[in-house]
Amino acid sequence: MREVPAMSDQHSDAPLRYEVVVIGSGFGGGTVALRLAQAGKKVLVLERGRRWRGKNLIPQDGDPAATPFPQIGESHFFWGSQIWHPSRQRLGLFELRQMLNLQGVAAAGVGGGSLVWGNVAIEAPENIFRAGWPGDITYEVLQPYYRKAEGYLLPLFVPGVPGIPGEKNRRVIRSEMFKAVAEKTGKKWQPVRVAVNFGDEAVPHANGHGHARQLGCNYCGLCSAGCPQNAKNTVDITYLAEAEALGAEVRPLTEVTHLESHNGTYRIHFRRYELDGRVAERGSISSHNVVLAAGTFGTTELLLQSKARGGLPGISKALGTRFSVNGNVLSGALRRDATDDEIAKLDTNSGPAIGSMINCGSFAIEDFANPTWTAGMIGGSNFGRVWSFLRALAGHPAGAEAMRKKAKDLLVYIGVGRDESRGRLKLNAFGSLSLEWPGGINSDPVVRELHQTMAELAHAQGREYVPNVFSIFDRPLTYHPLGGCPMADSQDSGVVDSCGRVFGYRGLYLADGSVIPTAVGRNPSFTIAAVAERIAERMLQTIVNQEAPPTPVCK
């Protein structure tokens, strides 16, 4: 391992290599990187994870090197420190945040959370913005930015979902069953748009973004495990592919540990990994403009670590607050007596991960393909789930026959809702994230309503309701964490203003789920991308047009 000289050690008047450094490459980081690259700025994107690609997409000359998406039990499925190799990192696709009162799921890789995204592109309801948001961000204000994001995510309704034309062999049976139970219980059902390519040929991306290639969706239902077709319009093959074509540099396997501010320049400390998890180098790089977009957990943790180390001592006391799980409840409706033949005939897993939703106003429930790739961690006893998890963590994949026996006739319900955003993220004694939530997440009114409604749906389908079907020790599981660095009108109540500028730190921006100040009650990725589009636009007004120093509140 060699030490890399810090670029900020140059003479103070020497030009820095990059005008903007973006940390993270998901919906926020990818959006900002592209818009800055389009403006001719020299942009560097630092991403802790690998490049990934679908297993069915054959590499071609000139393609960026990428690792095929892993299966559970493979050595690079999970992200995290290797207990048996302390000096190395497991450079996997999934990071599981284990807290005493919460489990969190995040992704690692070029493209960020979009790699394991359920593909839904849906706007937040208008009333979400009436309280808890900065005064100058409204539903109407965000409309043009939703449209900009739409041009890259290209969402469509799923062919084969009821009411959506499609080939006869492309029925999405679980959406049909979902529609039927909605009608039976008097609830509003609707199809949802997903950012998926439903073409049939291996061609460049529909809009030619950097000539990224993808196959059409094959209805395998593996969206949340990393699409084997690259059929999802993920950030790596849309925003980032075009940004790289315009000259932006993306460095995978580069994990940022903390930041320091000094005289208007930010020093970014990082570790770069080899593919086997060894640390190849430790170093730092500097820029006058930095965008943190490492995800809700990652960005909040980076700022907490940086503040604890003295690198950013003036961060708002609101850091860590207004954390939300976006009402996430992941439960199921189980039929234990189904035979293998019945399960195969019903084929409830055909189609993209999500095809439709039941709209209950303050919350929604979506159909979800049963992720049979996690078989062994679905239902069953806590011991069984822990044992399956530990085996997978140790690199022991289950055989095909074992997976078949563990698969159940399970309909999965995925819940989103407007919880009260009462969480606060802190660093524990080990320097890792912990969560405080007065009364516990399960006491939140919308979480209780979601469980009640899901149980009603399961019973109406003649099935057993299984709450928190993937959880260990019944802890809530969040796949849509939001907040921790909320945007607000003042430093007293937030970490950033409505333009993503960190209060008290010129040139430091945040652009990911961590700035969303309330639960949005729907899948948040589209809203995160729209907010990032607005942040990128305002950022360009400052660093490209050389406007006067910004006022405390962005308009």
Q: How far is CA 74 from CA 58, 282, 359, 392, 434, in A?
A: 20, 27, 38, 7, 28
Burial of 253 (0-12, 13-18, 19+ CB in 10 A): buried
Can you point out the beta strands (E) in 431-546? 433-436, 464-466, 477-478, 508-510
Count CB atoms within 10 A of the CB of residue 536.
25
The tokens of 169 are what? 């062999």
- Provide CB contacts within 8 A for 341, sequence distance 6+: none
Cβ atoms of 277 and 410 within 8 Å: the answer is no
**For 230-250, b where at least 16 C-beta lie within 10 A, e where not — what string?**
bbbbbbbbbbbbbbbebebbb
* pLDDT (tens place) for every residue of the chain, 555 residues total: 333 333 333 333 345 789 999 999 999 999 999 999 999 999 999 999 999 999 998 888 778 889 999 988 788 899 998 888 888 999 999 999 999 999 999 999 999 999 999 999 999 999 999 999 999 999 999 999 999 999 999 999 999 999 998 776 788 999 999 999 999 999 999 999 999 999 865 455 555 567 788 899 999 999 999 999 999 999 999 999 999 999 999 999 999 999 999 988 999 999 999 999 999 999 999 999 999 999 999 999 999 999 999 999 999 999 999 999 999 999 999 888 888 778 778 888 899 999 999 999 999 999 999 876 665 555 566 767 777 777 777 777 766 666 666 667 889 999 999 999 999 999 999 999 999 999 999 999 999 999 999 999 999 999 999 998 878 788 899 999 999 999 999 999 999 999 999 999 999 999 999 999 999 999 999 999 999 999 999 999 987 665 444 444 566
The tokens of 518 are what? 């309330």
CA–CA dist 411, 335 (Å, integer): 9
Q: Which domains does the chain have, with CATH numbers?
A: 2-9+19-543 (3.50.50.60)
Among 457, 330, 342, 357, smallest CA distance to 409 is for: 342
> Global pTM?
0.93
DSSP assignment, residue 522?
S
Dihedral-angle region of residue 468 (phi above 0 means left; psi in -120 to 50 means alpha; beta otherwise): left
Q: What angle do CA 50, 54, 57 make, to 5 degrees?
A: 120
**Tokens 């800055």, located at residue:** 36
Strand 508-510 to 290-292 pairing: parallel
The tokens of 531 are what? 């907010």
